[in-house]
Amino acid sequence: MATEILPPVTELKPIPAGRRAGIDRALALRPAIEAFATEVVGEGLRNVYLVGSGGGLLTHEGLQYLLETRSGKIPTSAISANEFIFRSPAALGRGSLVVLASNTGTTPEVVEAARFAKARGATVASATRLADSALARASDVAWTYGDDTGIGDPKEFALALLGLALLRASGEMDADEQAAHIRTLEALPSALIDVVRQGEDLNRTIAQGCLSAEVIYVIGGGPNHGTAYGLSMCYLQEMQWRHAASFDSAEFLHGAMEVVAGDQPVIQYLGEEATRPIDERAKRFLEKYTSRAFYVDSKDFRMPGIEDAERPFASHFVLDALMSRLAQHFEAVSGHDLKNRRYMFKVEY
């Protein structure tokens, strides 16, 4: 089967001027999400499984981090959809909440995971674009946002609302703290546009500096491992056909560091969460052993409208937005359209 190759991309896509409509639609789901959380906790929530594939799986990293670091009552795990089905967790059943994420809502194994979870008696919720998608239909409740263009990921915002609501309903977050996080979520869509503008020179430098690299390594700690994973697999491998690999900043120092020498390019994402010391340790190593390390540090960016105390909560959203914009810079310097695929959506796999 011949693979259609799109013509070269020669210009950088412009930064959208306004807030992403899909995020505002996701934020408007807050009353429904909070009512849902109150209901599932009241009915005896035993555990949470965060399920997806590829980009849908990494979308859960922020929610997983929030629940794992704040809840002593809600055991939480994230797992790839097919692994979830075939591993068949013993604790899955009545009292389980299975949360799935997929923009298209058509990924076969994600849809099957929703059906599998329901058959085991779990409550199934999904964050997806269209209300009539296969995933939405297979879920007990689907939080949909319609629009998937612009800066920021509506799924991340819906899932953050869910995490905050679960913590509040379980008595592990007070109303004032929840309100502060909600203010942050409401301010972030506009702040992300400003942040991406601030990051243009850095992202351009990274894309140009990695253009000739045989392989690119990407690292991040805490929830920002998902950011590194997204850039390396979803954007560089899938959409740019580049050899790339991602590592948790801590695990990077337990093997992968051995291939870093000279001018080996490494892109590191550093957030402001409690896991930042892990990132700083890895950065010290990179500064010593490679001349081609690039650091995307949320501390270097202004976040208009975000309270200082909320920066650790906001930094993951900031790094994800900068990462997605970097993919467009790679597209422009390489000429390889991000929509080009050899296999995905084209052949059986």
Sheet hosting strand 76-80, strand order edge to edge: 76-80, 47-52, 96-102, 123-128, 141-144
Statement: residue 61 has pLDDT above 50: yes
pLDDT band at 1 (very low <50, low <70, confident <90, very high): very low
CATH of domain 193-334: 3.40.50.10490
Instruction: Report the alpha-carbon angle 149-155-160, nearest 5.
Output: 135
pLDDT at residue 4, as a whole number: 61
The confidence score (pLDDT) of residue 346 equals: 85
* pLDDT tens for each residue of 30-52: 999 999 999 999 999 999 999 99
DSSP characters for 120-151?
A: TT-EEEEEES-TTSHHHHHSSEEEE-----SS
Q: What is the pLDDT of residue 250?
A: 96
Per-residue tokens: 191: 């702040």
pTM for the full model? 0.95
Is the pLDDT confidence value at 3 over 60?
Answer: no
Every domain of the chain with CATH number 3.40.50.10490 lies at 21-173, 193-334
Q: Which helix (H) or strand (E) holds 325?
A: helix 311-334
pLDDT computed for residue 348 by the predictor: 85
The pLDDT of 155-179, averaged and rounded, is: 98
Are 45 and 170 contacting, i.e. CB atoms less than 8 angstroms apart? yes
For residue 344, what pLDDT is reported?
85
Q: For the segment 96-129, what is each residue's pLDDT rounded down to a tens digit?
A: 999 999 999 999 999 999 999 999 999 999 999 9
- Tokens 């035993």 belong to residue: 46
Q: To 10 degrees, the CA torsion angle through 164, 167, 173, 179?
A: 20
- pLDDT score of 103: 95
Mean pLDDT for the stretch of residues 196-207: 98
pLDDT tens by residue, 290-309? 999 999 999 999 999 999 99
For the chain, what is the mean pLDDT?
96
Q: Say if residue 284's pLDDT is above 60.
A: yes
Pair of tokens at residue 325: 């914009």
- Summarize the confidence of residues 191-211 as an average pLDDT: 97
For 21-173, which CATH class? alpha beta
For the segment 226-238, the average pLDDT, to the nearest whole number, is 97
CB-based contacts of 286: which residues, under 8 Å, 6+ apart? 260, 266, 268, 293
Q: Where are the beta strands (DSSP E) in 213-309?
A: 216-220, 244-248, 266-270, 293-297
How does pLDDT run across 317-346, given as a tens digit for each residue?
Answer: 999 999 999 999 999 999 999 999 899 888
The mean pLDDT of 8-26, rounded to a whole number, is 91
| Token representation of residue 220 | 């991040």
Q: Please check the confidence at residue 5 and state whether its pLDDT lies above 70.
A: no
DSSP 342: S
